[in-house]
Chain A
Amino acid sequence: MSKTYETVIGLEVHVELATKTKIFCGCSTEFGKAPNTHTCPVCTGMPGSLPVLNKGVVEKAVAVGLATNCTITQNCKFDRKNYFYPDNPQNYQISQLYYPICRDGKVEIEVDGKKKFVRIHEIHMEEDAGKLIHDPYTDSSLVDFNRSGVPLIEIVSEPDMRSAEEVIAYLEKLRLIIQYLGASDCKLNEGSMRADVNLSVREVGSSEFGTRTETKNLNSFKAIARAIENERERQIDLIESGEKVVQETRRWDDTKEYSYPMRSKEDAQDYRYFPDPDLVPVVISDEWMENIRKNQPELRDEKRIRYKEEYDIPDYDIDIITNSKRMADIFEEAIALGAAPKKVSNWLMVETMRLMKEHSVDADDLSFSAKNLAALIALVESKAINGTVAKEVYEKIFTDDIDPEKYVEENGLKTVNDEGALTKTIEEIVAANPKSVADYKSGKDKAIGFLVGQTMKAMKGKADPGEVNRILKEILSK
């Protein structure tokens, strides 16, 4: 009988913090600029340069620590991790080994209605490396140090996850917490959030861990799920065939859907960690910590409760809306501008979701303003435009963030509220469609739909269908 196995997974998640300047110098962290334009003696490792800690990094790291129920190390230190690589200008990375800024946290995740905690071992601050670009024409490598010194936090979980679903739920949880804190945009595909998966398997019921591997280069949730499945199978196959799992770092190739070993941890280099003598201990006073705690924004779990109480919209809608800070922001802003919560929620749930799919836009990247959505809702409410026109206008808001009032005005989309003109058109339609009129009068209620449609067509869509209905019934009942 074949054995059953349990997968044991722990994650190391790197998050690029959204500070304006780098962790140890005043250079901009802006992404996508010409190579080596955001550099100075410090982030290029020039001789004699010295690091000075950006306090904003500490604040963001503490904010994440508090939101994930960590204990804050109020006297933390930076250490040097020594290794030679050209993207690392000093040939040591300034990181934290001995006194990381946060320890012993936990977050709650939910998979298939089951809740559980994933414990966080530690969160530490460190600097990112530069980027190597290989030039095949000259067969040489070039270094871009723009990213060198961009602040990172590494969130190390305990091996508490047992499936890809739990891993995704944990990552989603972290992403939302960090996004809501404004500490990072957490985009896996752009590298502002990177997850390395530590995975081992063991027989169900065993209390000891198996030998683990670390898988890197996972750029999407889908890749993570595939890599976990693949690695689980690979390890089980090894064990079943009597071989041993080697402790090593593997690189995932998502197009080929397999991983290969990068370097073996057994002959791993010795990083010779020691406290960085160029930096002084980071003292986080009670007062400073309280200040950060006080300024923590409302997080997702709190928002869910509040939306339910204040707006009385369905749980399903709340989940979708709060699944992205951007969408939740649009929702709240539109309500603040006077739009009814239910109406805003409807626009987000139906039309927005449809257009997001059609244009392949993530909720985090929604570019329209809440102001224009609120204005559109007001136009519909005042019956200035009808539902069909509203959808058309909304498409323009979604793609180009146009001002709906101006747009409706300029394109003559306003509903015709001249009752005389409308009655005249309806009378003409009634006269021209005796058969439908007869059908209606003989009890076929559906026939009125055809007449409304004909009227709307004649009005070029600029009539209020409710109004058309009312007038039609009046005429037909005469």
Chain B
Amino acid sequence: MKLTAVELGKKIKAGEVKVADAVRACLDRIEKLESDINAFVTVDGEHAMEQAEEIQRKIDSGELTGPLAGVPVAIKDNMCTKGLLTSCSSKILSNFIPTYTAEAVLKLKEAGAVIIGKTNMDEFAMGSTTETSYYGATQNPWDVKRVPGGSSGGSAAAVSAEEVPYALGSDTGGSIRQPAAFCGVTGIKPTYGRVSRYGLIAYGSSLDQIGPIAKDVTDCATVLEIICQHDDKDSTSYDAEKGYTGNGITDTGSDFTSALVDDVKGMKIGIPRDYFGEGIDEDVKKSVLEAADVLKQKGAVVEEFDLGMVEYAIPAYYIIASAEASSNLERFDGVKYGYRTSEYTDLHNMYKKSRSEGFGDEVKRRIMLGSFVLSSGYYDAYYVKALKTKALIKKAFDDAFAKYDVILGPVAPTTALMKGESLSDPLKMYLGDIYTVSVNLAGIPGISLPCGFDRNGMPVGLQLLGQTFDEKSIIRAAYAYECSREYKRPATLTERGL
């Protein structure tokens, strides 16, 4: 289970490992670790074993030849899986069995992935700690007293704890990158539109993107290559055949694995000074700047610059994401599916009670915030202004990418917090998103990968950002950096002989 997804895929292909053995190994590990980690909402063991047999046959017959054929995967619980509970870690969907499978998940299935189960998350992906789940908090494999980050905390913890080689997460304001950083693994948030959102239960529709979480850059690039395809069912899905026009931006292609080269000579890397001001932990700062030095030594041209607009990202993000969420979550009303209150007097009472009982505090907070900013009289002052801010943030990035291939900085101002620390102070939790939310507002791609440890031995994440449809530059830079260090698994696992 120490293998990466691609390494395991090679062994399966070579006949050295049977798919069933790989699946069983995952299930055994989940059995051993779940009481400590709680990374999964649902483990679909029996069905996974059945799938394993079928996929093994297809591999043996030469029907499946891809790099991830037979490799087990875990899916964040906000992506629809036909016949399998998809709860968004919410009480209101605690009985929801979808009738169809999300497009990104289908792509993995077609490539021979075996779905082990569905991973825990902050309720409806609203949170940065995976503590707001109806199914209980997920623990960080590096230190179970700490949070794994969020909202894809279950996916990041499952990969970190080696319960699965890789997982899918979703990122609306940092929900792939921040938990990857907190758990010492790697994750990519692709350009908005790269991966179909069809079947991803929406939080902030204009910001949501599905992406991979794995142990290394190679795995992430390989997974992204599979799930990144145009989908007619998603109007915002990017069609490479039609290309992209606007702002002189060019699609550098979706053959991401071709960017896995240890060469950054002449690559221009910018470090925003405004990312290292007040609030950043000294150990985080140190590790990130050391990573920049590594790239510099490898021949990259690294310099500091002022990005601008940084302080406006959080308010703009929370207005836009909450506004969209307030509308997206209206369909959860107890009428068609999901939780319905047991006693009610009339229709409106049923709505009110089902939603009051079905949603948790953080979700209610954002629905209220979103409803407020969209209400008449406030729409222009908040929502329209936030959209204008979003455009300015995008422009700030465009200006930066006119000079640099890649922007380098931290993923979060701190490493993983102690459990309970941010639940009591939502505003503090929101401020932790300062380096990630602007990326979603701008729609650009970002990668998060481990770059060291703080004084408590908790992993620090390095964030590399690229221009729209230029995942390849950040994959190349990340890969080159990764080549300079060894992958570190959580010490607690080694200590316990796991």
How far is B236's CA from A279's CA once the two chains are assembled, in angstroms?
Answer: 7
- 11 A-B pairs within 8 Å (CB atoms) are namely A46-B98, A48-B80, A48-B201, A49-B198, A50-B198, A82-B330, A84-B348, A143-B336, A272-B326, A277-B206, A278-B205
Chain A residues within an 8 Å CB radius of B326: 82, 272
| Cβ–Cβ contact A84 & B333, under 8 A | yes
Check A274 against B383 for contact (C-beta < 8 Å): yes
Contact indicator A52/B336 (Cβ below 8 Å): no
Taking a contact as CB atoms closer than 8 A, the residue among A41, A47, A51 that contacts B235 in the complex is: A51
Least Cβ–Cβ distance between B234 and chain A, in angstroms:
5
Distance of A86 Cα from B96 Cα, bound (Å): 18
Q: Are B233 and A50 in contact (CB under 8 A)?
A: yes
- Contacting chain B: which of A89-97, A157-165, A190-198, A467-475? A89-97
Q: Is A45 an interface residue, CB under 8 A from the partner?
A: yes
| A89 & B331 in contact (Cβ 8 Å cutoff) | yes
Cβ contacts under 8 Å, A45 to chain B: 331, 336
Closest B residue to A145 by CB, please name it. B336
CB distance from B49 to the nearest CB of A (A): 27
Distance in Å: Cβ of A81 to nearest Cβ of chain B: 10
B375 interface residue, CB < 8 Å from A?
Answer: yes
Verify if B65 is at the interface (C-beta below 8 Å from A): no
Query: Assuming the A-B contacts A47-B86, A50-B197, are A277 and B205 also in contact, with contact meaning beta carbons closer than 8 angstroms in the complex?
Result: yes
Residues of B in contact with A (beta carbons under 8 Å apart): 79-80, 86, 88, 93, 96, 98-100, 102, 197-202, 204-206, 232-236, 323-324, 326-327, 330-333, 335-337, 347-348, 351, 371, 374-376, 379, 383
Given known A-B contacts A48-B199, A91-B333, A274 and B327 have beta carbons under 8 A apart: yes
B-contacting residues, A17-49, CB 8 Å: 41, 44-49
**Alpha-carbon distance between A86 and B340 when the two chains are bound, in angstroms:** 13
B-binding residues in A (CB < 8 A):
41, 44-53, 80, 82, 84, 86, 89-92, 143, 270, 272-274, 277-280
CA A334 to CA B327, docked complex, whole Å: 55
Known contacts A47-B96, A274-B383; is A280 also within 8 Å of B331 by CB?
no
> Which partner residue on chain A sits nearest B347 by CB separation?
A86
What B residues does A280 contact at CB under 8 A? 235-236
Given A82-B330, A270-B375, A278-B236, do A48 and B205 touch, yes or no (CB 8 Å)?
A: no
B232 cross-chain contacts in A, Cβ below 8 A = 52
Main secondary structure of the interface of A (DSSP, over half): loop
Chain B residue at minimum C-beta to C-beta distance from A90: B331
Sample of 15 further A-B pairs with CB below 8 A, known A84-B330, A270-B375, A278-B236? A47-B80, A47-B93, A47-B96, A47-B332, A48-B86, A50-B197, A50-B198, A82-B374, A89-B336, A90-B330, A272-B326, A272-B327, A278-B235, A279-B235, A280-B235
Note all chain B residues with C-beta closer than 8 A to A92. Answer: 327, 330
CB closest residue in chain A, given B320 = A277
Asked if A48 meets B336 with Cβ closer than 8 Å, knowing A272-B375, A274-B323, the reply is no
How many angstroms from the CA of A11 to the CA of B98 in the assembled complex? 42
A80-B327, A274-B379, A280-B236 given as contacts; is B336 within 8 A of A44 (CB)?
Answer: yes
Which residues from A are CB-within-8-Å of B351? 84
Given contacts A272-B374, A274-B379, A278-B236, contact A48 B198 (CB under 8 A): yes
Please name the 10 residue pairs, one residue from A and one from B, whose CB atoms are nearest each other, closest first: A91-B330, A277-B206, A272-B374, A277-B205, A48-B199, A47-B201, A48-B80, A48-B201, A45-B331, A90-B331
Quick check: B327 and A82 within 8 Å, CB to CB?
yes
Contacts of A277 in B (CB 8 A): 204-206, 236, 324
> Considering the chains assembled together, what is the distance between the CA atoms of A53 and B232 in angstroms?
10
User: Closest chain B residue to A25 by CB distance?
Assistant: B233
Tell me the bound Cα distance from A53 to B235 in angstroms: 8
Cα A108 to Cα B111 in complex, Å, equals 61
Question: B202 to A48, Cβ gap below 8 A?
Answer: yes
Chain B residue nearest to A81 (CB atoms) is B327
Q: Which residues of B contact A84 (CB under 8 A)?
A: 330, 333, 348, 351
A90 to B201 alpha-carbon distance, docked (Å): 13
Which residues of the partner chain B approach A47 to less than 8 Å between Cβ atoms? Answer: 80, 86, 88, 93, 96, 98, 201-202, 331-332, 337
A143 contacts across to B, CB distance below 8 A: 335-336
| Chain B residues, Cβ within 8 Å of A91 | 330-331, 333
Distance in angstroms from A42 CB to nearest chain B CB is 8
| Pairwise interchain contact A272-B201, C-beta atoms closer than 8 A | no
Instruction: State A146–B348 Cα separation when bound (angstroms).
Output: 24
**How close is A340's CB to chain B, nearest CB, in angstroms?**
53
- Pair A48/B200 contact, Cβ less than 8 Å: yes
Closest to A280 in B: B235
Query: Given the complex, which residues of A lie within 8 Å of B80, measured CB to CB?
Result: 46-48
Contact A50 B235 (CB under 8 A): yes
Smallest Cβ distance from B466 to chain A, in angstroms? 23
- Report B227 CB to chain A, min CB distance, Å: 15
Q: Are A48 and B331 in contact (CB under 8 A)?
A: no
Bound CA span A49–B323, Å? 19
Cβ-closest chain A residue relative to B372: A272
CB-contact partner of A272 in B100, B204, B331, B371, under 8 A: B371
Closest Cβ of chain B to A335, distance in Å, is 45
- Nearest chain B CB to A458 CB, angstrom units: 75
Report A-chain residues with C-beta under 8 Å of the C-beta of B93. 47
Shortest C-beta distance, A472 to chain B (Å), equals 78
For the complex, what is the distance from the CA of A50 to the CA of B371, rounded to whole Å? 21
A46 to B99, Cβ gap below 8 A?
yes
A337 to chain B, nearest CB (A): 44
Give the docked Cα–Cα distance between A280 and B246 (Å): 15
Once the chains are docked, how many angstroms separate the CA of A143 from the CA of B80?
24
Q: Which of B100, B234, B348, B374 contacts A274 (CB 8 A)?
A: B374
| Chain A hits for B337, CB < 8 A | 46-47
Given A45-B336, A48-B79, A48-B80, A270-B236 contact (CB < 8 Å) = no
* A353→B93 CA distance, assembly (Å): 60
- CA gap between A84 and B326 in the complex, in Å: 12
Contacting residues, chain B, for A273 (C-beta < 8 A): 374, 379
Residues of B within 8 Å of A80, CB to CB, are 327
Q: How far is the CB of A434 from chain B (nearest CB, A)?
A: 89
Instruction: State the CA gap A86–B383 with chains docked (Å).
Output: 27
Complex contacts, B197 vs chain A, CB 8 Å: 48, 50
Nearest opposing residue in chain A for B338, CB measure: A47
Q: Which residue of B102, B204, B323, B348 contacts A48 across the interface (Cβ within 8 Å)?
A: B102
Contact yes or no, B330 A41, CB < 8 A: no
Residue of B nearest to A279 (CB): B235
Q: Which residue of A lies closest to B334 (CB)?
A: A86
In whole angstroms, how far apart are the Cα atoms of A80 and B374 in the complex? 11
Q: How far is the CA of A82 from the CA of B347 in the complex (A)?
A: 17
Could you tell me if A86 and B327 are in contact, using CB atoms closer than 8 angstroms? no
Report the separation of the CA atoms of residues A84 and B323 in the bound assembly, to the nearest whole angstrom: 16
* Minimum C-beta distance from B341 to chain A (A): 15
A39, chain B: closest CB distance, angstroms: 11
Of listed A47, A82, A273, A279, residue having the most chain B CB within 10 A = A47
CA distance in complex: A156, B70 (Å)? 58
Closest to B376 in A: A270
